[in-house]
């Protein structure tokens, strides 16, 4: 029976994947740090939970024992000054994981990434799977460094290196969508005016694509995960708020949104609380992104449950 390790299993997407795979026939090792896993995942015979620290390589060995596939979600978000901690929590921590995975003879490592690593892309000029992009945000820069580390190690070892560059996942239970819903309910949801292309994928299509990347043979390289729709962030949020029965998001000057991010980051610093918005989030959010999904459709998921968000709007 194949054994898979999910890092960040107590997080949003990692937790959703763990729940999706619990009845798949896989043995699941769930790696957590401080936050506990979903109670629905406790007490299941094929699920093992490991507490570890990616900053301490020696804590990873037991979780990686006899593991065939690693799916890496773990990371730090919603904290002030991401430009200071992301080179550590993304690049260095992932390097630690790769090193111990190689020692444990893991066969495949799947990194959950995003198309922003190639910089600005659009439906007319989509991301194609290159590693020479020039992103502007720290989130994207450090994720690109993770990809380079992974594929460099894959070239030197027998590990199958896989990057799943995921567009925006939508659906109830997705943190960004739920946050937008709460803000819209309180008439606090705002967006800049400049149209920003986004590549969407529904929760079930994301989970099934990732599952196929775990279980299928001869999966390696970069895959862009997204549906067939072409829309801007503004169009999507207008549709989402209409679906929820709220007014559309306010169009706001970028400077005002940046000011709000600065205030939230300062509050995060002073009171040791989460910052739901940072200046770097805005930088990455304002970059249009769209990926070429031919490999995904050919090798991972031929038929989408929802071809566009308009078909899946009720899942919001």
Q: What is the pLDDT of residues 19-28, one digit of tens each?
A: 999 999 999 9
Quickly state the pLDDT bin for 65 (edges 50, 70, 90): very high
pLDDT tens-digit series, residues 154-169: 888 989 999 999 999 9
When comparing pLDDT for 112 and 270, which is higher? 112
Q: Tell me, what's the pLDDT at 268?
A: 62
Distances (CA, A) of 110 to 31, 123, 274: 15, 25, 28
CB 198 within 8 A of CB 308: no
pLDDT tens-digit series, residues 85-109: 667 677 888 999 999 999 999 999 9
Quickly state the pLDDT bin for 75 (edges 50, 70, 90): low
> Where are the strands (E) in 129-283, listed by range?
160-166, 168-170, 190-191, 197-198, 200-202, 221-225, 231-232, 250-251
3-170+199-228+289-306: CATH topology is Rossmann fold (3.40.50)
Q: Where are the domains of the chain?
A: 3-170+199-228+289-306
Q: Tell me, what's the pLDDT at 249?
A: 96
pLDDT tens-digit series, residues 273-290: 666 767 777 888 899 999
Quickly state the pLDDT bin for 258 (edges 50, 70, 90): confident
Q: Is 276 exposed, middle or buried (0-12, 13-18, 19+ CB in 10 A)?
A: middle
How far apart (Å, rounded) are the C-alpha atoms in residues 30 and 50? 6
CB 122 within 8 A of CB 197: yes
Q: Is the pLDDT of residue 78 over 60?
A: no
Over pLDDT 70: what percentage of the chain? Answer: 93
Q: Is the pLDDT of residue 195 over 80?
A: yes
Distances (CA, A) of 66 to 8, 46, 114, 271: 19, 14, 29, 42
Average pLDDT, the chain: 91
How far apart (Å, rounded) are the C-alpha atoms in residues 69 and 220? 12
């Amino acid at each position: 029976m194949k054994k898979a390790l999910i890092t960040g299993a107590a997080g949003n997407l990692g937790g959703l994947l763990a729940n999706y795979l619990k009845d798949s026939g896989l043995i699941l090792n769930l790696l957590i740090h401080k936050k506990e896993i979903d109670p629905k995942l406790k007490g299941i015979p094929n699920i093992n939970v490991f507490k570890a620290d990616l900053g301490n390589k020696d804590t990873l060995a037991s979780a990686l024992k006899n593991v065939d596939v690693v799916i890496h979600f773990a990371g730090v978000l919603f904290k002030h000054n991401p430009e200071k901690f992301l080179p550590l929590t993304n690049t260095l921590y992932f390097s630690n994981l790769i090193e111990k995975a190689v020692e444990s003879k893991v066969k495949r490592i799947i990194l959950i990434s995003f198309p922003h690593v190639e910089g600005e892309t659009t439906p007319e000029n989509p991301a194609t799977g290159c590693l020479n992009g020039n992103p502007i945000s720290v989130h994207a820069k450090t994720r690109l460094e993770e990809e380079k580390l992974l594929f460099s190690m894959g070239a030197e070892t027998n590990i199958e290196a896989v990057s799943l560059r995921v567009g925006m996942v939508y659906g109830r239970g997705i943190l960004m969508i739920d946050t937008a819903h709460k803000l819209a309910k309180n008439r606090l949801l705002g967006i800049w005016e400049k149209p920003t292309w986004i590549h969407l994928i529904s929760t079930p299509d994301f989970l099934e694509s990732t599952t196929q990347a775990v279980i299928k043979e001869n999966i390696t390289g970069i895959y862009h995960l997204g549906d067939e729709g072409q829309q801007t962030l503004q169009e999507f949020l207008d549709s989402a708020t209409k679906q929820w029965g709220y007014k559309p998001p306010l169009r706001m000057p970028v400077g005002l949104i940046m000011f709000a991010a600065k205030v939230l980051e300062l509050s995060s610093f002073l009171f040791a609380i989460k910052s739901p918005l940072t200046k770097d989030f805005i930088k990455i959010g304002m970059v249009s992104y769209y990926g070429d999904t031919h490999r995904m459709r050919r090798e991972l998921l031929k038929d989408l449950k929802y071809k566009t968000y308009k078909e899946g709007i009720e899942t919001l």
